[in-house]
Structure 1
Amino acid sequence: MLRRSADSRPQLALITASFVSRVGNGLFNTAAVLYFTLVVHLPATQVGAGLTIAGLCGLAAGIPAGNLADRYGPRAVWLTALGVQAATMAAFVRIDSWLAFTLVATLDRLAATAAGAAGGALVARVGGERPAAFRARLRTFVNLGVVVGTLGAAVALQINTRPAYTALILANAASFAGAALIALLGVPNYRPLPRPKEHRQWSVLADRPYMTFVALYSAMGLQYQVISLLLPIWLSSHTDAPRWTVAAVYAINSGVCVLLQSRLGSKVETPKQGGRAFRLAGLLFLLSCPLMALTADVPAWVAPALTVLAVSIHSVGEVWESSGGYALGYGLAPDHAQGQYQGFVGIGFDAGQALAPLVLTGAVLALGHIGWLLLGALFAAVGAAGPPVTAWAEHTRLGRQVVELPRLDAEQQGTEHVG
């Protein structure tokens, strides 16, 4: 972790910029599929195929963008990626064919992946001595921004006209431009950290402990779509719960994360704490998954209460899981290569999210109650691997820290200037 004190002004600027961009995401994501199918008149299958192609192509930008952030500074790469996303969002209002849609979506995903890698490195610099705690705090406002944007999108969905949907897309484009302007004015232009001679542009691929952590983090990431995909389908098709229960799932999950992310995240800063948080998250998921399955076996008036209990437990587990992931993702990455390492984390996580619908709907739903039990057991096993993988990673880093930290501490002075 970086040995420097954090300045509250850059933190506030980055939080504000992230909040603004995520309000735009909430506006766009809520109505995107409806816009492409009802306004552009693309078949749903073509929209799905285009998004899949774009998502897979976007993974390619992670490590290269991270290396650029490490070499030239994370702010420059992040601002560039935000600018590209603003342009691609604006371009969506002009598309009229599947090919144009796929090309624009691919450019957007490449920029989004680059923004994730550079943004992760920027968090490490802005967060100072506590990047994981700052990232947890940042996530609180990111979630809040998405909620605000989603509520705003409801108005356009009710109007249901092309100008209404166009306004949402252009508002999202403006949110990226606004976020870039806020960061340009308020976030320092951090200079690259000195790199040791053994540094390589693909060093992360030779870091077996870190690659193992990313694999665990990606597998645990299935839990996000348990709430957004699996449980709503289960409630609708396997239970007699009233329809409003599905809406309650999203509200409770968002509320718990907003209320607890900073509070619990501040307790998880070191890799060792991150490993323990990962294990605790797995145990909470082991408890929540069977409770979700039981909603199919209780009366209709009990199902909502049981759903609320299960989602509350699961959401607390989500907070611990994300906090543990931040502590391990930043704490185990070398300071001079945060961009490269955060880029690889993004690749792993996005790949896991791409596979999640297939795993959750194709396996868990097909197996029913047994599928839910197996899913909970998977989360518990992945979480249990957190502490030993952490110990393995820290053992491999002891020699490097003894050699590098004195040099980094001596050269930290004068590593930044305000742009």
Structure 2
Amino acid sequence: MTTTTVEASTRTPRRLRPPRRPRLLHEDRLVRRLAGITLVNTLGNGLSMTLTVLFFTRVLGFGAGRVGLALTAAGLCGVLAGVPAGRAADRYGSKPVLIALIAVEAVGTASYTLVGSFPVLVVLACLVATADRGSGAVRNALYAEVLPPEKRVEGRAYLRSVTNVGIGVGTCLAALALQADTRAAYSVAILADAFSYLVVIALFAVVLPSPPKRADRAAAEAAGPNPALRNLPFLAVTALNGLLCLQFSMIEVGVPLWLVRETSAPRWMVSGSMLVNTVLVVLLQVRATHGTERVGTAARACGRGGLLLAGSCAVLALAHGLPGWVAAVVLAAGVGLQALGEVVSQAGGWALSYALAPEGAHGAYQGVFNTGQAAAMMLGPAVVAWLVVGHGILGWALLATLFTVGGLAMAPTVRWARRQELAA
């Protein structure tokens, strides 16, 4: 009997194989717990993020310019928060630091309902942004500590899908407050978000096991200078990932402005484009992580993501001057390409942020990596609006160039990081 025959005879007959069913719940118990916490958190976030700016302007009576100034100051504080928060996670433990930051966020969010002056608004906005961005870095470090290396990226992808679902549902619930358009309705929604933080704290404290204590050597390193800030290749990877993260401002700012100002597509496509992005990310993010466990594959995933994002820019630019429904179809195709680039590039970036960090220093490295993302989030709206509104099709071409450079430069930069790691 040939080898092929033996193998064929030992295979399970196709008709006897149990049918594969799509999993809504993750097979790993710990990831399921994290998903439940994430869902509660993002439901509250989706509820308030839709309303907060309107609450500041329509209810508190601050002008749009002053609110923009407050949010800019808050964004800058958020950028600065990641590094010290991540370092604190290495020194004092990611779980207690995360719980402390979420508690600050809860108090700050609830205090919005008591604001009576503009300086108080600025202070609270900065406090909430600092806690939010800092907790993001610490949360990612916590994932590295409680999940085995082979499950970190796939677990984060699953949690990101849950995040999109939670924010989507929370945004739909916010429509009730928007319809009422009263101070009481806005306040209830904001307080509900603050309460969700308290629920998250309780869940982290009760259902999530504390990460194992680090070895003495790792603890000693945590007390020294920040290793991520001295790792030039990692800083370069962080900067390139920041370029790729301009995609979020592209879909949130660039596409709506381009659609309304420069195309004949129906205006409801602004919401439609966000829906297309959300659905595709929920469906594809976990699949996009397959193979990114290897550093080289993760770097190449960033390259593919950058090219997909560049292609998205090219397609979106083509919508200019087309008839309404044709423009709508072209815009939908461009947004679809952006979603594909998003899930691939994000999977690659997460994998690299973990793989290039030594065990015991994930807080420091996630803090630096998240700072790059936060900087892109803060500067992105202005950069994308300037390119798209100010320069039209040329602006889309320049944005596509940034994505291409950010993606294709990742592989040689990662090889540089690996060589430095081997030489150390």
Q: TM-score, normalised by structure 2?
A: 0.90
Label 1:21 to 1:201 Cα distance change in 2 as closer, same or farther (>3 A).
farther
1:193 counterpart (192, 214, 218): 214
Q: C-alpha distance in 2, partners of 1:270/1:167?
A: 46
Corresponding position of 1:92: 112
Three-state SS of the structure 2 residue aligned to 1:124 is helix
- State the shift of 1:132 in Å: 1.4
Decide whether the 8 Å contact of 2:87 with 2:363 is kept in 1. yes
- Mean alpha-carbon deviation: is it higher for 312-321 or for 296-305? 296-305
Corresponding position of 2:43: 23
Decide whether the 8 Å contact of 1:279 with 1:385 is kept in 2. yes
Decide whether the 8 Å contact of 1:284 with 1:313 is kept in 2. yes
Q: Give the letter aligned to residue 142 of structure 1.
A: T
Q: C-alpha distance in 2, partners of 1:344/1:90?
A: 29
Corresponding position of 1:32: 52
Structure 1 residue 44 corresponds to structure 2 residue 64: yes
Specify every segment of 5 or more residues in structure 2 that has no aligned partner in the other structure, as ranges: 1-25
Q: Give the letter aligned to residue 15 of structure 1.
A: A
Q: C-alpha distance in 2, partners of 1:146/1:302?
A: 30
Corresponding position of 1:146: 167
Q: C-alpha distance in 1, partners of 2:43/2:328?
A: 29
Q: C-alpha distance in 2, partners of 1:262/1:371?
A: 32
Structure 1 residue 282 corresponds to structure 2 residue 306: yes
Q: C-alpha distance in 2, partners of 1:118/1:147?
A: 24
Corresponding position of 1:406: none
* Matched residues, number: 395
- State the shift of 1:126 in Å: 2.3
- State the shift of 1:172 in Å: 0.6
2:233 counterpart (209, 212, 219): 209
Q: C-alpha distance in 1, partners of 2:46/2:337?
A: 25
1:162 counterpart (165, 173, 183): 183
Corresponding position of 1:404: none
Q: C-alpha distance in 1, partners of 2:401/2:315?
A: 13
Q: Give the letter aligned to residue 78 of structure 1.
A: L
Specify every segment of 5 or more residues in structure 1 that has no aligned partner in the other structure, as ranges: 1-5, 401-419
- State the shift of 1:391 in Å: 1.1
Three-state SS of the structure 2 residue aligned to 1:189 is coil
Corresponding position of 1:315: 339
Label 1:225 to 1:277 Cα distance change in 2 as closer, same or farther (>3 A).
same
- Mean alpha-carbon deviation: is it higher for 316-325 or for 373-382? 373-382
Structure 1 residue 368 corresponds to structure 2 residue 392: yes
Corresponding position of 1:407: none
Structure 1 residue 389 corresponds to structure 2 residue 376: no
Identity of aligned residues (%): 37
Deviations 1:207-237 (A, max 9, x none): 0110000000111111111111011011101
- Mean alpha-carbon deviation: is it higher for 188-197 or for 286-295? 188-197
- State the shift of 1:198 in Å: 5.8
Label 1:7 to 1:338 Cα distance change in 2 as closer, same or farther (>3 A).
farther
Q: C-alpha distance in 1, partners of 2:161/2:27?
A: 19
- State the shift of 1:60 in Å: 2.8
Q: C-alpha distance in 1, partners of 2:187/2:30?
A: 33
Q: C-alpha distance in 1, partners of 2:412/2:336?
A: 28
Label 1:58 to 1:382 Cα distance change in 2 as closer, same or farther (>3 A).
closer
Structure 1 residue 250 corresponds to structure 2 residue 274: yes
Deviations 1:255-297 (A, max 9, x none): 0000001121233222212101100011111211011011112
Q: C-alpha distance in 2, partners of 1:90/1:334?
A: 38
Q: C-alpha distance in 1, partners of 2:173/2:292?
A: 33
- State the shift of 1:399 in Å: 5.0
Deviations 1:361-387 (A, max 9, x none): 123321111111121122112100111
Corresponding position of 2:330: 306
Structure 1 residue 112 corresponds to structure 2 residue 114: no
Q: C-alpha distance in 2, partners of 1:250/1:374?
A: 23
Q: TM-score, normalised by structure 1?
A: 0.91
1:180 counterpart (201, 204, 212): 201
Deviations 1:100-141 (A, max 9, x none): 111111111121122112101111122212211211111111
